[in-house]
Structure 1
Amino acid sequence: MRKLTSTALLISSMTLSSLSWGLACELPNNYEVTCLINGVAVVPDQYSDLKGLINYKGDIVIPTQYEEIGYPEEGLIAVKNNGRWGYINRSNETVIDYAYDEAQAFSDGLAAVAKDGMWGFIDKQGELVIPYGYSEVKEFSNGRASFKSGEKWGVIDKEGKQIVAAKYDSPIIFKSGIYNTDFAQVEQNERYGLINLDGEETIPVIYSRMNSYYTDGLIGAKKGHKWGFIDTDGKVKVDFKYDDVDYFSDGLAKVTIESGDYERLSGFIDKSGKEVIPPIYKQAGSFSEGLAPVWVNEKWGFINKAGEMVIPPKFEDVHPHSLHAGFSEGLISVAMNGHYGFINKAGETVIPFIYYNTIGVFENDQVYVMADNDYYYINKQGERVEPVYPEKTEEKVEESSEDSESPMSALMDKVKSLFEWALGLVKA
């Protein structure tokens, strides 16, 4: 397979260093491209500005022949050719003709397409299953899609039946990160609540802010100037007395208070609201696999659920603690002397401190790392390995809706999208 070597620029370590605090994502070696999603990245042609797809090695997956191109979703790729949008497969074969002014990726078996300024939905055979009639729409998730009418948003099902009238101020998405959920946030007049799949408000629209995802059946909400926790039926489970709250992970949630001198200190509570670990830490991450990172004497260490320091504070960074990621498959990325490596839950070095950066967490025995100008996957032995990219199918999406929420995966999914935006700001 031919490599696309003359049409892309080297991404310098200086460019990436400005983003290493969290806006890092997986990139193919030596290419000025978007992030890898489902195993491919969008790459422009050097001379024509046409676009195609490459894999992490730089091998061409789809030639640079399209005006615009999306990522593979449910086996199909939205592409723009001669001013019109259609869909191809990974073999670059046209599956749905170029008949649309705009097009979105497939999700839940349907894709949003537009003609003459109005949106509808097609199936994978290109049949129009929901007629054009919406000024704006979002993708389907868990059998629901948000539509805009005038300046308000509502919800339809996959038959086009209106489930929620257009009365809310922002899109209504039954999805948190990579998982479908049975609830969605709604907004009216800068107040927030929650609805279920039937459109019923299970949490009234009275809160000034809400966390964007829930775990263990609880969601953080802000009332007035303080945060607490409510369940999906709207019952208050933890009183509104904190200056900030995080999600529940491993049965505990990080909570933060501000002292009189505006110093913010964090501790942990259980689902009953009991203070398990007092708020004494200037910085702390969430619990994962029984441990949480805490900042003590200008270094990071790890405590257990009893608040005992089990790994002494000696690390310069825990990556990415700002995104709540932590131990995964028994390992976590930490930094010493300006480089990252991996330790286990006993604090033992498993993979040496030789990497410029690490991206994400171990999943399926592999993680993405950066060393100088080389970016690649390693396994738990620190050996370079070929990545595996299981593309999400419609069936897999439906199965995942039954799983419990994974904030770590959800947040990493959001970070990849955020980095794609940021990369556009720093391109040469």
Structure 2
Amino acid sequence: MKKNIMLLFIAMLGLSWYTAVSEAVNNPKKVQEHLQKAAELEEKGIYVDAVTEYEQALEYAPEDSDIYIRMADAYRNGGDSRKFASTCEKAAEAFQEDTKAMDLLMEYYMENDYESKAVKYLTNFLEAYPDNENAQKWFLELKGSYTELYCRYEKMSDIVNDSMVVMEDGLYGIADAEGREIIAAEYEELQPFSKDGFALAKNDGGDYLYIDRDGQTRKVPDEIYQAPGMISEDRAAVCRDGKYGYLDEEMEPAGEFVWEELTGIKNSTGAGKRDGKWVLVNKNGEPKTEERYEDVVMDKSGFCSNQERIFVKTGKAYFLIDRKGKRIGELTFDDAKAFTENGYAAVCRGDKWGFVNQDGELVTEYQYEEAESFQNGYAAVCIGGLWGYIDADGQQIIDCRFTGASHFSKSGTAAVKIENDDGEEEWKLIRLNIFS
């Protein structure tokens, strides 16, 4: 008897399920009735009840993605942005072949300057559905979106070792990569912090000294030197009586002062100029090779050997060597920018710039009016007199709209210069919403 009752119950349950599904599938008229009623309510501005009608329509047509879109619009028109977003997200995940829900959500975010929200959603979505082409498309489009950070400074330098020199009221200080003050603007001259943790400063008395991130004086040469450089690997290039040499970690001479010019030390290698020619040198300022060059390319901090690669010039051509003087690759260039600590280097042929890798191979064709070497995955390039950014694949991620542009930091920030509505140039600090 119990077995028969159970079978009867299962049969009735199945019949009930079948009837419900059949009713939903075979009642397009009811779907249309709810949709019509929802439209009428929306015309009157009664969005809450319109949403209810859409929910009832979905009971009969749960696979109709267009109803989700209409319901999302009702939420948005009614001022409920949270439920608008969640409805779009639900539809985007449920109907991945239909791009309308994700497109609607992304357009809403971008129209309202909510790029950071869009990035967060896309990141999570692609973790769950990495092969979704529409999400990939939007992710790429948003790759160049950025947020402008508050920054009050008149001028800003490249961000080096999470620090940048800033100018305020004609004096110099140091801020971090987010624009927060580290050292107050009270120095006549200043450099960013080196990896060794010291920044070169010139005080109001005209003396050079090295300070730490707390603003404390940590190193002061016993003698008076001119044109001191950034400390790196316990060496600083300085000038005495018109000749350059290195100081060691105790601010004592490391070798002789015999050079007309001298770079800083990176990867145990620098370069010195004597009798009009350049040669590679070691940490004591002694020649490492016999080869002499007409020029050596330095970066803005005075180093030539980042990534153990150095651009030198013989005759009219620049080419690439390693820190032992061995030539890298066969290409020659009319000009070049030094490698940074990571990424490709900018090189020039004719009047156009492209990029080479560590092996001296051309990875981006000569096409830019000017360019800076890559740093942290991006490079500043100039087109039509304005600067923007490309990624390592050569994709233009930020259009050329700035009058000046610096390297991106490890945290995705960069100092850029723009022309404001009054025609005056001013510095801004930006941060990429997507940073890789």
The TM-score, its normalising length taken from structure 1, stands at 0.49
TM-score for the superposition, normalised by structure 2: 0.48
- Larger C-alpha radius of gyration, 1 or 2? 2
More strand by share: 1
- Structure ranking higher in helix proportion: 2
